[in-house]
Amino acid sequence: MNMLTEMNLGLPTKGAVTGAVLGVLMFATAGAALAEMKAAVIFGVANPVAVNGWDRGQFEGVQKLIDDHGWDVTVAEAVPFPGLANTAENYAKSDYDVVIFTSSGHIKAWNEVAPKYPDTLFVMMSTTSSLPESDNVLAYTSDFYAYGVVNGLVAGLATETDKIAAIGGVPVQALEDMFSGIVESSKIVNPDIEVLTAFSGDWTGIPRAREVSVLQIQQGADIVIGNAGVGTRGILDAVQSTETQFVGYATDWTEDAPETVLTSVLMNIPSWYEQLAQDVESGALTPRIELFGAESFALTPFNDSISAETAQKITDYVDQYVNGELDVPKVNHSFK
Partner 1 sequence: MMFLDPDFILSALRTGTPLMLVALGVLVAERAGVLFLGVEGVMLTGAFFGVLGAVYMDDPWAGVLTGTLVGMVAGLITAALVVWLPTDQVVMGLALNIAAIGLTSFLFRLAAGDLSQMTPPLNFTVPESLADNAFFAFLFGVPPLTWLTLVLSVVTSYLLFRSAPGLLLRSVGQDVKAARSAGIDIRVVRTVAMVIVGGLTGLGGAALTVGWVRSFSDDITAGRGFIALAAVYFGRWYPGWTLFGCLLFGIGESVAFRAQMLGGNPHLYLMIPYVLTVAVLALTGRARAPREVGRPYEGN
- Contacts to partner 1 by CB under 8 A: 45-47, 49-52, 78, 171, 198-199, 201, 204-208, 210-212, 214-215, 218-219, 230, 233-234, 236-237, 240-241, 255-257, 336
CA distance 246 to 228: 13
- Which H or E run contains 42? strand 38-42
CA distance 155 to 201: 23
Cβ of residue 43: shortest distance to partner 1, in angstroms? 12
Cβ of residue 257: shortest distance to partner 1, in angstroms? 6
Of 140 and 203, which CB lies nearer to partner 1 in the complex structure?
A: 203
For the chain, counts of helices (H) and of strands (E): 11, 12
Of 196 and 298, which CB lies nearer to partner 1 in the complex structure?
A: 196
Cβ of residue 92: shortest distance to partner 1, in angstroms? 27
Contact 246, 235 (CB under 8 A): yes
Of 259 and 295, which CB lies nearer to partner 1 in the complex structure?
A: 259
Cβ of residue 226: shortest distance to partner 1, in angstroms? 13
Of 8 and 242, which CB lies nearer to partner 1 in the complex structure?
A: 242
CA distance 202 to 281: 37
Q: Are strands 261-266 and 298-299 parallel, antiparallel or unpaired?
A: antiparallel
Of 218 and 307, which CB lies nearer to partner 1 in the complex structure?
A: 218
Contact 317, 149 (CB under 8 A): no
Cβ of residue 156: shortest distance to partner 1, in angstroms? 21
Reduced to 3 states, what is the DSSP secondary structure of residue 249? strand
